[in-house]
Amino acid sequence: EAQVTQNPRYLITVTGKKLTVTCSQNMNHEYMSWYRQDPGLGLRQIYYSMNVEVTDKGDVPEGYKVSRKEKRNFPLILESPSPNQTSLYFCASRKSGYSYEQYFGPGTRLTVT
Amino acid sequence: SQQGEEDPQALSIQEGENATMNCSYKTSINNLQWYRQNSGRGLVHLILIRSNEREKHSGRLRVTLDTSKKSSSLLITASRAADTASYFCALTDSWGKLQFGAGTQVVVTP
């Protein structure tokens, strides 16, 4: 089954404790991205990757890091989480090019206390 | 960066009625997509309409695009309780980036 998986699905952590949210897709997609969703703000892109070893900032990259060492994986790293990073996070992937739908993971609900 | 603005923000209808929501934007686009999100879950792609298309259908969904007015509409016909969800328009700009609006929350009551 074609899918994007994320782990963990729920995470409660404390300020400053480094964490990683994993994302994996099995569709051989070149393009992957991370979004955060906050009430009333829709989805905002954090980082994206056009292919292996090619990453770039989205609209809200501050406080986040990513890496793309393999085509299927695109982890999101919070080196020192803060309460304002409490949010619902989504990983997504699609084929390269403009006219392709994005496939979304199930989401990771992160709470930073 | 631009993003679509959905209208209305929320919509409550009864089963069997049609639901219409609109998306307006400000600059040129490559295509426009509509997604559905059930509460707290991942988004699911519904339909993509290219900038040179005016209308597309998929099952009970009808999407129109008017590039002169920079607007799109999503019509769900004969709505069902299972259509209760948030609906987002997303614009693909000339850089290939997808920009999402804040969404329309639709509630369909039996």
Domains of chain B, CATH where assigned: 5-109 (2.60.40.10)
Chain B contact set for A35 (CB, 8 A) = 100
Phi, psi of A83 (to 5 degrees): -55, -30
Does the beta carbon of B42 lie under 8 angstroms from any beta carbon of chain A? yes
Interface contact flag, B88 A42, Cβ < 8 Å = yes
- Convert the pLDDT of each residue in A5-17 to its tens digit: 999 999 999 999 9
Q: What is the CA radius of gyration of chain B?
A: 13
The residue that leads in pLDDT, B108 or B94, is B108
Residue B78's Cβ-side half-sphere holds a number of Cα atoms within 13 Å equal to 2
- Residue pairs between chains A and B whose CB atoms are closer than 8 Å: 56
Question: Nearest-CA distance from A9 to chain B in Å?
Answer: 10
Phi, psi of A41 (to 5 degrees): -110, -5
Taking CA atoms, what residue in B is nearest to A109?
A: B40
Does the beta carbon of B52 lie under 8 angstroms from any beta carbon of chain A? no
Distance of CA A91 to the CA centre of its chain: 4
- Whether residue A20 has pLDDT greater than 60: yes
Question: Nearest-CA distance from A17 to chain B in Å?
Answer: 25
- Convert the pLDDT of each residue in A83-112 to its tens digit: 999 999 999 999 987 778 999 999 999 999
Does the beta carbon of A10 lie under 8 angstroms from any beta carbon of chain B? no
State the DSSP code for A75.
-
- Whether residue B2 has pLDDT greater than 80: no
- Convert the pLDDT of each residue in B69-86 to its tens digit: 999 999 999 999 999 999
Confidence band of A40 (pLDDT split at 50, 70, 90): confident
Interface contact flag, A45 B33, Cβ < 8 Å = no
Taking CA atoms, what residue in A is nearest to B103?
A: A42
Distance (Å, whole) CA B102 – CA B100: 7
Confidence band of B3 (pLDDT split at 50, 70, 90): confident
Angle at B91 between CA B86 and CA B93, to 5 degrees: 160
Distance from first CA to last CA of chain A, Å, rounded? 36
Distance (Å, whole) CA B36 – CA B20: 14
Distance from first CA to last CA of chain B, Å, rounded? 39
- Convert the pLDDT of each residue in A46-85 to its tens digit: 999 999 999 999 999 999 999 999 999 999 999 999 999 9
